[in-house]
Amino acid sequence: MPRIFSGVQPTNNIHVGNYLGAIRNWLELQTSNDCIFCVVDLHALTVYQKPEILRQNILNVAKTYLALGVDPKKSIIFVQSDVKEHAELAWILNTIAKTGELERMTQFKDKAKQHKENINLGLFSYPVLMAADILLYDTDGVPVGEDQKQHVELARDLALRFNHLYGETFVVPQPLINRNGARVMGLDDPSKKMSKSAASSFNYIALLDDVKVAEKKIMRAVTDSGSEVKAGIEKPALTNLLTIYSLLADRPIKEIEAEYSGRGYGDFKKGLAKVVVDFLVDFQTKFNNIADAEVKKILDAGAAQARKLAIGKIQEVKEKIGLLI
């Protein structure tokens, strides 16, 4: 069975973009693939995190996976720092990654601008750790949003480079990016992607947002000129809102356009707010019903399974490069 690996950083509240761009696709993949879903806590450290908040966020991301339908009977769910081989392989891959290629990473450039006071080495080599996550498990497919494509491409390059230097070792992974929802845009600015670190909370709908707040965010979302509810390049804001509606309600965009034809933006936003609120209520009910102890048990079991795979791979890597005497 093909191997799938993906993860989310426990930096803040997971938002609708993370769900529609990535996690929603995991749910389908887990039925016919060998899936591993990770809470990538070591990645989160590249930006300063308050320890007690990080601890809570790690648990919340795992709970979010479960509440959205990631099934621990089908998929391995674990926390990155519980399997030390990630950091070990990252170091080895650091020695074949070029500083020039890391300087070209758009996420690094953006984050370096945002955190001028803390452009640390971890932030710079972040994509190498991500490559280690992926390559450690002989991953075939990496379901992510559009913004992570460049990082998966680096993982491919590093796999090929390592294989060329030391012989066939790593599977060369493919990014799996859906046509719809791969780049959910900010509600307050449809020219930029929805982001956890946006300056205004009106940019995103967090999965744990109070439903009244979420409703307000939809009603305040930026729209395009005109009044027709239609997707298209000339209507980036409406295209984004229609995409969110379509994916959450599981209905084609054309059908939604037809329903709101001649009714204007206000009516459409009310309809979208209802779809979003229904989704959030369902999610939050499930989320709140999962006990911390239950998640910890699942994460412990997941780490044990992941560790077994990781130890085998790192052993092979060490042999190939001459570290095991």
List active site positions.
111, 193, 196
Give the long-range contacts of residues 26-30, CB within 8 A, separation 24 or more.
Answer: 26/70, 26/75, 26/143, 27/68, 27/69, 27/70, 29/4, 29/141, 29/143, 29/176, 30/4, 30/70, 30/71, 30/74, 30/75
CB-nearer residue toward ligand TYM: 205 or 229: 205
Binding of residue 61 to ligand TYM (CB under 6 A): no
Binding of residue 5 to ligand TYM (CB under 6 A): yes
Binding of residue 83 to ligand TYM (CB under 6 A): no
Q: Of 184-203, which residues contact ligand TYM (CB under 6 A)?
A: 184, 193-194
Binding of residue 173 to ligand TYM (CB under 6 A): no
Place of tokens 């729209």: 223
CB-nearer residue toward ligand TYM: 12 or 271: 12
Q: Which residues of 228-259 are buried (b: 16+ CB within 10 A; e: fewer)?
A: bbbbeeebbbbbbbbbbbbbbbeeebeebbee
Binding test (CB under 6 A) with ligand TYM, winner from 3, 4, 22, 141: 22
Binding test (CB under 6 A) with ligand TYM, winner from 148, 203, 239, 243: 148
Task: Choose the stretch contacting ligand TYM; rule: CB under 6 A; options: 127-135, 157-165, 290-298, 312-320.
Answer: 127-135
Assess contact for 222 and 207: CB atoms under 8 A.
Answer: no
* Cα–Cα distance measured from residue 70 to residue 37, given in angstroms and rounded to the nearest whole number: 9
Binding of residue 247 to ligand TYM (CB under 6 A): no
Binding of residue 145 to ligand TYM (CB under 6 A): yes
Binding of residue 9 to ligand TYM (CB under 6 A): yes
Task: Choose the stretch contacting ligand TYM; rule: CB under 6 A; options: 98-106, 140-148, 226-234, 315-323.
Answer: 140-148
Residue closest to ligand TYM, measured at CB? 21
- The site for ligand TYM (CB under 6 A) is made up of 5-9, 17-18, 21-22, 40, 43, 130, 133-134, 142, 144-145, 147-148, 151, 182-184, 193-194
